[in-house]
């Protein structure tokens, strides 16, 4: 009986593995809150389209299979099918992806979408990423654009930053603040609230809903709707898994990405409007840049375009932005 028992166990393992292999796991990067999280809106719409067309899909709660680094590694190895990822993580695999966050390169989210649609940017990016085990299927908006928050006073022009020390994500953002005439300090997100309270930092660049997600809304007092960069993450998939799909299933996945992106974009406008209203209700003063001030911020930002990428690396993005206007 022992050989039969062993065969039964092996059969069970194989069946379990096959069931697992046919399930498309989507790793979330935020709580499943469609009111606040644009990447969840994308992920959920993506999963629902897959299910409606006969594929099995499961949303994996944020943190359940690791942080950003672990999820990226699992996707590259083909152990995770779909990953809602930080754009900066994708840039670790393909440097030029960081150009999507170049300040004032794209005028708006609509301009970004037109620029991508009218160029070969995504095919160029994925030609590189696919060699490293992943591909990007969508640039996912988490808001209409990133603005300037601070605790001291309104910001209506670059000169208003001269007495502010802004929290920076990295050295490149420090260079941007300096280009605007201000200063910065690199601080991790868990330390930001304390930094604002102690005066180590006075503000940051973020989408309007971010203070509510991280408990900063009762600390920050001023917001400038500057739309410095698009507020983006990426939907990333495992290349080997995608290539291994049948033509039919690959078509379903492609269609799911299109439907999910449409749902994400439909979410942005109402979400930004609600977030701005929520900021005002919380006592945050909102400033909207005059066209001439926006133009000055944009002109001062141009040197930061080549802080990460050289001219040859960023030029295709500049060309795409021109085509998108």
Least confident of 187-191, 196-200, 267-271: 187-191
How high is the pLDDT of residue 2? Answer: 40
The string of pLDDT tens digits covering residues 223-277 is 999 999 999 999 999 999 999 999 999 999 999 999 999 999 999 999 999 999 9
pTM equals 0.85
Distance CA 114, CA 109 (A): 9
Residue 200 has pLDDT above 90, yes or no: yes
Tell me the two tokens of residue 86.
């930080």
Residue 76 has pLDDT above 60, yes or no: yes
How high is the pLDDT of residue 4? Answer: 39
Residues in the chain: 325
Q: Which domains does the chain have, with CATH numbers?
A: 20-91+98-142+232-271 (3.40.190.170), 147-229+276-323 (3.40.190.170)
């Amino acid at each position: 009986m022992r050989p039969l028992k062993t065969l039964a166990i092996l059969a069970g393992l194989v069946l379990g593995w096959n069931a697992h292999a046919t399930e498309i796991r989507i790793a979330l990067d935020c709580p499943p809150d469609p009111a606040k999280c644009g990447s969840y809106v994308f992920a959920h719409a993506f999963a629902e389209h897959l299910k409606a067309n006969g594929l099995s899909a499961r949303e994996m709660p944020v943190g359940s299979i690791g942080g950003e680094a672990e999820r990226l590694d699992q996707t590259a190895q083909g152990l995770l099918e779909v990953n809602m990822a930080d754009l900066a993580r994708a840039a670790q695999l393909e440097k030029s992806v960081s150009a999507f966050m170049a300040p004032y390169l794209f005028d708006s989210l609509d301009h970004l979408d037109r620029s991508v649609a009218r160029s070969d940017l995504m095919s160029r990016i994925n030609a590189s990423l696919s060699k490293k085990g992943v591909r990007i299927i969508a640039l996912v908006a988490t808001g209409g654009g990133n603005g300037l928050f601070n605790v001291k006073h309104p910001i209506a022009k670059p000169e208003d930053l001269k007495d502010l020390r802004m929290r920076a994500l990295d050295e490149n953002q420090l260079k941007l603040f300096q280009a605007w005439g201000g200063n910065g300090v690199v601080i991790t997100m868990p330390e930001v609230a304390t930094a604002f309270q102690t005066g180590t930092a006075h503000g940051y660049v973020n989408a309007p809903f971010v203070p509510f997600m991280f408990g900063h809304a009762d600390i920050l007092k001023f917001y400038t709707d500057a739309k410095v960069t698009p507020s983006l993450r990426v939907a990333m998939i495992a290349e080997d898994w995608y290539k291994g799909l049948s033509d039919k299933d690959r078509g379903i996945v492609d269609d799911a990405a299109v439907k999910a992106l449409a749902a994400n974009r439909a979410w942005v406008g109402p979400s930004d409007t609600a977030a701005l209203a929520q900021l005002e209700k919380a006592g945050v003063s909102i400033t909207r840049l005059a066209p001439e001030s926006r133009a000055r911020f944009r002109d001062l930002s141009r040197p930061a375009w080549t802080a990460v990428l050289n001219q040859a690396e960023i030029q295709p993005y500049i060309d795409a932005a021109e085509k998108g206007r």
